[in-house]
Amino acid sequence: MSKLESLIRQTEIIKLAKRKPFDWETLDDLLTRKEEELDRKLRISKRTFHRDLVDIASLFGIQISFDFKTALYAIDPESSSEQHEKLLEAFDMLQVFGPRGKTPPYLLFEERKAIGTEYLSPIIHAIKVQKKIQIQYEKYWLWESEQRILKPLALKEFKQRWYVLTLDEKDKFKVFGLDRIKELQVLNETFTPSKTIDFRAYFRDVFGIINSEESPVEEVILTFTEFKGRYIKSLPLHPSQEILLDDGQVLTIRLRVKIAYELIAEILSHGDEVRVDAPERLKELVREKAENILHSIIK
DNA sequence: GATAGAATTAAGCAGTGAGG
DNA sequence: CCTCACTGCTTAATTCTATC
């Protein structure tokens, strides 16, 4: 009954609950099957199951409760958020790797450099206890690196990279990519944030991580080819994505975002499978880039 | 590496209370 | 007023940790 086993058990409960509401027998059957499959002791008493439900609520933020009308356990929809999908994914990976962490030869991971995930846990700790961090940061455009002392506020993921959101020495809001941090130290110096920022609101209208306060939120309308459209539907570009037209020929979507470098880069990455319909300013920006490509101009 | 003691984890049981 | 989910408490077992 190791910690890992209870985590596996709890993720199985969550996965079952996500598929459909279930009763005790169904869960017991599932755990019995999984017990053989994974060669771990997973079957539990009803008492432990109830304790697990409490743990799941606090650990994953997913509330599973009993519905007397159907006599089934189900997830309370308002309590579960998409954020926890990541946690579930992580535990799934943990199971694949096994306790000894060896990668089977039939799993081929994308080869990439370290993306700084090793800093995640110290930074999370620093944010929680409000301690300053000192980082050695490698700039993209310089050979040299700089040392900074920062007040960490939050972590944000974008396109498989992690960024730490901070206030710098002058209490200015700054974002740093974890993959460019060469060294990190949590200082034994606490701070009280000079301002509280509602990050969900802060990033709601932003594509990417750079938020230029002054630029307005605009309605961006994009049309994709049918093939690309399927991809965009399954992996929305932005939470604000709405489908305006999906007729089997093309897919037209609307985003409500600020127009910035990262949005343009995203659009260009889809090549000739996307068309900018609005606004005119974005159309012009993309056209300019496209013409530069055509004439082999780099800027 | 072994061992003792501490800490964690789960089971069982009894009692409570909500829903029908 | 009956059933069954749920909770608190105790006990047993297992895992972790510190120490030699």
Q: What pLDDT, on a 0 to 100 scale, did the predictor assign at position A58?
A: 72
Which has the minimum average pLDDT: A75-84, A116-125, A152-161, A238-247?
A: A75-84
Nucleotide at minimal C1' distance from the A46 CA: B11
- DSSP-derived 3-state class of residue A172: coil
Instruction: Give the Å distances, CA to CA, from A60 to A5, A192, A252.
Output: 16, 28, 35
Domain boundaries, chain A: 3-94, 117-201, 210-294
**Does the C-beta of A299 come within 7 A of strand B?**
no
**How much is the pTM?**
0.59
Is the pLDDT assigned to residue A150 strictly greater than 80? yes
Residue range A252-263: mean pLDDT, rounded: 87
Is the pLDDT assigned to residue A270 strictly greater than 80? yes
**pLDDT, tens digit (0-9, with 9 covering 90-100), for A105-147:** 555 555 555 566 667 767 777 777 777 888 888 776 666 677 8
Asked if A75 contacts A64 with a C-beta cutoff of 8 angstroms, the reply is yes
The pLDDT confidence band at residue A12, using thresholds 50, 70 and 90, is confident
Q: What pLDDT, on a 0 to 100 scale, did the predictor assign at position A238?
A: 86
**CATH code for A210-294?**
3.30.70
**Does the C-beta of A65 come within 7 A of strand C?**
yes
Separation of alpha carbons A248 and A238, rounded Å: 22
Which has the minimum average pLDDT: A48-57, A138-147, A241-250, A277-286?
A: A138-147
Phi and psi based region of residue A115 (left: phi greater than 0; alpha: psi -120 to 50; beta: remaining):
alpha
CATH architecture classification, A117-201: Roll (2.30)
**Does the C-beta of A51 come within 7 A of strand B?**
yes
A279 cis-preceded (ω within 30 degrees of 0): yes
Q: Higher pLDDT residue, A91 or A295?
A: A295
Q: What pLDDT, on a 0 to 100 scale, did the predictor assign at position A255?
A: 87
Is the pLDDT assigned to residue A286 strictly greater than 80? yes
The pLDDT confidence band at residue A82, using thresholds 50, 70 and 90, is low
Asked if A120 contacts A178 with a C-beta cutoff of 8 angstroms, the reply is yes
Nucleotide at minimal C1' distance from the A49 CA: B10
The three-state (H, E, C) secondary structure of A281-295, written as one string: HHHHHHHHHHHHHHC
Q: What pLDDT, on a 0 to 100 scale, did the predictor assign at position A37?
A: 67
Q: What pLDDT, on a 0 to 100 scale, did the predictor assign at position A111?
A: 55
What one-character DSSP code corresponds to residue A104? Answer: P
Nearest to A246, CA basis, from A274, A223, A279, A271: A223
Q: What pLDDT, on a 0 to 100 scale, did the predictor assign at position A99?
A: 44
**Does the C-beta of A6 come within 7 A of strand B?**
yes
Is the pLDDT assigned to residue A274 strictly greater than 80? yes
Separation of alpha carbons A89 and A77, rounded Å: 20
Residue range A57-79: mean pLDDT, rounded: 72
Q: What pLDDT, on a 0 to 100 scale, did the predictor assign at position A100?
A: 42
Asked if A268 contacts A290 with a C-beta cutoff of 8 angstroms, the reply is yes
Q: What positions of strand C are covered by protein, i.e. any atom < 7 Å from a CB?
A: 5-9, 14-16
Could you tell me which residues come within 8 angstroms of residue A198 by beta carbon, excluding any fewer than 6 positions away?
A: none
The pLDDT confidence band at residue A80, using thresholds 50, 70 and 90, is low
Asked if A161 contacts A179 with a C-beta cutoff of 8 angstroms, the reply is yes
Q: Which amino acid is at A256?
A: R
Is the pLDDT assigned to residue A101 strictly greater than 50? no
Helices A261-269 and A280-294: crossing angle, nearest 10°? 60
- DSSP-derived 3-state class of residue A15: helix
Q: What positions of strand B are covered by protein, i.e. any atom < 7 Å from a CB?
A: 8-13, 19-20
Q: What number of residues does chain A have? A: 299
> Could you identify the residue written with the tokens 């880069």?
A265
**pLDDT, tens digit (0-9, with 9 covering 90-100), for A189-238:** 777 766 667 777 778 888 877 777 777 888 889 899 888 888 888 888 88
**CATH code for A3-94?**
1.10.10
Is the pLDDT assigned to residue A97 strictly greater than 60? no
